[in-house]
Structure 1
Amino acid sequence: MFSSTIQVSVFVFVTALIGFLTYLSCRGQNRSSQNQNREYFLAGGGLAWYFVAGSITLTNLSTDQLVGMNGNQMALLALWEFSAVVGLFVLAKVFLPVYYKFKCTTTTELLEQRYHDKHIRAVISALFFLGSALIFCPAVIYSGSLFMQSMFGVDLPLMYIAVTFVVVGALYAIFGGLRAVAVSDTYSGVLLLTMAVLVVILALQAIDYNFDGIPVERLTLIGDNDSPIPWHTLLTGMIFIQMFYWGTNQVITQRAMAAPSLKEAQKGVFAAAGIRLLIVPAIIVIPGIVSYKLFGDIGDSAYGKIVATVLPDWLSGVFAAAMAAAVLTTFNSNLNSATALYVCDIHESYVNKTPNVPKLSGYVTVLLCLVSLALIPVYQQADSIINLIQQLYGLLSMPILSVFIVGLLFRNVHANAAIGSVLFGVALYSAMSFEFSPMYAPFGLHYIHLMFVTLIACVSFALISNKVIFNQKAEFSLALYKEEEAK
């Protein structure tokens, strides 16, 4: 009982300390009503590179990563992180110069500039919004609640823990905007990475650094055809998944667009890439592999089990606070970004050009929170959280990426041709990736290959329909990247 009291006390103290440090960093900042969108969603363009790096890192790294990837209990999942480094470099050198050139608040604002049509911006924003509402927000709340429940060994219903996360995360998103989200991300990120590395070291000590007895297929980085990531998928869909996630996804790019200059933003992205290369792969696979040797194939319970086993009681409260912070920052980052998409791309274009941004954002945030809680029972039925997320987001990722690729590489493409390609892509990927479809997994292709097929099909659909239906000839042009970069 005394041990549990110490755990909870340390957890509450560390969580409150992060909140207090965030308040100190954010108080007194300019809240000018001249440009509410820029202040609320881009922190007034005032994020230093270390806040950009910290926010990008912890927005991506949460319980759905730590619990989900370790739940596969194999080294192969590290390939997601190694390939993510490429995605971050593409963000820094390809996408960011364009976003800064057009002074974008949302990534989808670029589409309106390139296609000269506000409707395509709204359509893609709606898809991103649905992705956050139906996939990422409920998944991170569910996985975080599950971890906290298993770590503390409490008998509280999962939904009670989830409600607590949702309420606290919403407070950050509503009252602090992106500035509070990014600052809390950074403080929390330092704590989480430190504790996660400690778990790796203690886990390795628990097996005396001896991997004997673990099947070879769980230790290899070269996956065969039956593995979660066959090696050949790295040559097709994997790189485009990373381009989409790091280069066009509002949740990630919003942090990089909030720096005072392009150079500062790129510095932050490169720092995030270094963390992704040197630290993250180990913390998302080694604990899971060790848990396989100690406990067998236990799936998504692996990370919580190994943490509870190797961490001394006096540190478990600190680790719980770090994990709670990871859940909160990923959740409130998704809330803030989804809200930005709705307010800037939909509400201001079709409902009211000059809304009260903080008030409207609060309403949208509350709606997203309620949807997240309602979907938790759905995620409780998943065999693997991370695999389910990847498959579901495949419905949106490649169709959306195709619109960005066509818009950046071609001129004179009708917006409706691009919108049509998105609808075509969602239908095509659905038909190829869900078991109830007669087109399921054609030729036995892995879902990552199917993403690549979907991307090629969407780009082709847009260009062909542009010519046949709208009688416009697309002009291939890289001129955009030859222009002077934004300062």
Structure 2
Amino acid sequence: MSAQAIQVIVFFGITALIAFATYLKCAGHARSSDSNKEYFLASGGLSWMFVAGSITLTNLSTDQLIGMNGNQMALLAWWEFAAVIGLIILAKVFLPVYYKNNCTTTTELLEKRYGDKNIRAVIAALFLLGNVFIFLPAVLYSGSLFMKSLFGTELSIMFLAVCFALVGACYAVFGGLRAVAVSDTYSGILLLGMGMLIVYLAVAAIDFDFSGIPTERLTMIGGDDSPLPWHVLLTGMIFIQAFYWGTNQTITQRAMAAPNLKEAQKGVFSAAAIRLLIVPPMIVVPGIVSYKLYGDIGDAAYGTIAADVLPVWLSGVFAAAIAAAVLTTFNSILNSSAALYCCDIHEAYVNKDANVGKLNAIITIVFVGIALALVPVYAAQESIINTVQELYGLLSMPILSTFIVGLVFKDVDARAAIIAVVFGTLLYAFFVFVWAPFHYIHMMCITLFACVGVALATNRLVFGNKVSFARQQTA
């Protein structure tokens, strides 16, 4: 039997095993009469272990493993260290508010704080734009690229992307959040174990000797010309993390699906521990080692070194773990996107009594089609992780400003917040595409404060409202 045949057999065997274990875990749960809660919050039935596992693997996918290792420098570990702070903010600041207000989506909180359904729909639409046009195609492309590198297959990236999209859509449509979270957790155990094995084998491949690697590849203090200058850690980085972990439906949806706040917080803190102790070496060490072995090969670094250091049968296991990571991240984003559309837009403006199961299937198919059409665009980018982070700044800071204004102040007109969002999106677009005086993370910080200022000024000068500080909302 050929080596490639062994890889493929092991790959499909483990992939099927994860799917079967997920089915067994989910089959015994009765469906809730509340379709939204069942499809999008697993009827509040996720224990802390599944909250932690789903959060971890929803974020940790090929766009992280390939994109960050593709930079081939230690500096990118700061994204993971900063994420720990973001998870703490989620647990201590945002989750108590979401549970107190019994929210299905993060944007539902905005409707309750501003007393206006339009702002909920506007922010949901922005989240959807980011999910469908940025994250979904990025995940499909990076996962397909890894599989192509690992197996050395002649299959096109587009063909592999279609395969991932179809299987991920089935999870999202037929299983809902419960199936997504359970498969996340089972896959996460496998991925974290295999990821750390890759770290060890990669370092062993160079005899634990990092000599000869340029200092700028090993330092944790980034210069002005690096992807992550040290000073950005003091400005926009914390707000990026607060947005991503605290308000992003794809992430927070898992924590909002626990039986109670305490169980949700336990899961989030467990996810933070994984981020601090396990994930950082996984997303930088193989890339650094690959620089010594192969030179500057960019996003192909992770797949290339994994293929070289793993024995044949283990490469099949690792491929299954990576495929699971791609699928779970993809179907997680699909499920949260469907939640945003169904709950925040369709039920509010089209049909409040819609068949959630049927609507979920239709909208998922539409989102998958758009994502597949954009895969070639991401294939043309020099660094996928930098592209994703930079593009998402168009939406992230304007969105975060609505949460900050809504939670910190009262008597703010929703129209003022919406005007600020439009202003912030245009301002950041100007910074990125026309005039870039600073690093894009600094410009994200400037954009956030500008949005908050515009919202408060517009509220006072245009709508004649005087604001005051809101009472503490956390439990």
TM-score bracket for this pair, using the shorter chain length? over 0.9
Larger mean CA deviation between 308-317 and 269-278 belongs to 308-317
Q: What is the one-letter code of the residue matched to 1:151?
A: L
What is the root-mean-square deviation of aligned Cα atoms in Å?
Answer: 0.7
Rounded Cα–Cα distance in structure 1 between residues aligned with 2:319 and 2:259: 34
Which residue matches 2:398?
399
Which residue matches 1:38?
37
1:102 aligns with 2:71: no
Which residue matches 2:19?
19
Rounded Cα–Cα distance in structure 1 between residues aligned with 2:284 and 2:355: 45
Q: What is the one-letter code of the residue matched to 2:19?
A: G
Output aligned runs, 1:55-454, within 5 Å: 55-434=54-433, 437=434, 440-442=435-437, 445-454=438-447
Identity of aligned residues (%): 68
1:463 aligns with 2:456: yes
Name the SS for the 2:34 alignment partner. helix
The superposition leaves residues 133-159 of structure 1 with CA deviations (integer Å, 9 ceiling, x where unpaired) of 000001000000011011101111111
The structural deviation recorded for 1:283 is 0.2
Rounded Cα–Cα distance in structure 1 between residues aligned with 2:280 and 2:472: 37
The structural deviation recorded for 1:29 is 1.1
Name the SS for the 1:335 alignment partner. helix
Q: What is the one-letter code of the residue matched to 2:56?
A: T
Q: What is the one-letter code of the residue matched to 1:322?
A: A
Rounded Cα–Cα distance in structure 1 between residues aligned with 2:357 and 2:458: 41
Rounded Cα–Cα distance in structure 2 between residues aligned with 1:2 and 1:295: 26
The structural deviation recorded for 1:480 is 2.1
Rounded Cα–Cα distance in structure 1 between residues aligned with 2:21 and 2:207: 38
Rounded Cα–Cα distance in structure 1 between residues aligned with 2:135 and 2:472: 35
The structural deviation recorded for 1:3 is 1.1
Name the SS for the 1:450 alignment partner. helix
Rounded Cα–Cα distance in structure 2 between residues aligned with 1:27 and 1:175: 12
Which residue matches 2:467?
474
Question: Any unmatched runs of 5+ in structure 2?
Answer: none
Q: What is the one-letter code of the residue matched to 2:76?
A: L
Rounded Cα–Cα distance in structure 2 between residues aligned with 1:97 and 1:8: 46
Q: What is the one-letter code of the residue matched to 2:139?
A: V
Rounded Cα–Cα distance in structure 1 between residues aligned with 2:148 and 2:227: 27
Q: What is the one-letter code of the residue matched to 1:418?
A: A
Question: Any unmatched runs of 5+ in structure 1?
Answer: none
TM-score (norm 2): 0.99
Name the SS for the 1:480 alignment partner. coil
The superposition leaves residues 109-153 of structure 1 with CA deviations (integer Å, 9 ceiling, x where unpaired) of 000000000000000000001111000001000000011011101
Rounded Cα–Cα distance in structure 2 between residues aligned with 1:196 and 1:361: 33
The superposition leaves residues 67-107 of structure 1 with CA deviations (integer Å, 9 ceiling, x where unpaired) of 00000000000000000000000000000000000000000
The superposition leaves residues 246-295 of structure 1 with CA deviations (integer Å, 9 ceiling, x where unpaired) of 00000000000000000000000000000000000000000000000000
1:5 aligns with 2:5: yes
TM-score (norm 1): 0.97
The structural deviation recorded for 1:314 is 1.4
Name the SS for the 1:31 alignment partner. coil
Larger mean CA deviation between 472-481 and 51-60 belongs to 472-481
The structural deviation recorded for 1:412 is 0.1
The structural deviation recorded for 1:477 is 2.5
Name the SS for the 1:359 alignment partner. helix
Rounded Cα–Cα distance in structure 1 between residues aligned with 2:424 and 2:467: 20
Rounded Cα–Cα distance in structure 2 between residues aligned with 1:460 and 1:284: 37
Name the SS for the 1:479 alignment partner. coil
Rounded Cα–Cα distance in structure 2 between residues aligned with 1:352 and 1:15: 38
The superposition leaves residues 412-453 of structure 1 with CA deviations (integer Å, 9 ceiling, x where unpaired) of 00000000000000000000012xx2xx112xx100000000
Q: What is the one-letter code of the residue matched to 1:31?
A: R
Rounded Cα–Cα distance in structure 1 between residues aligned with 2:85 and 2:472: 23
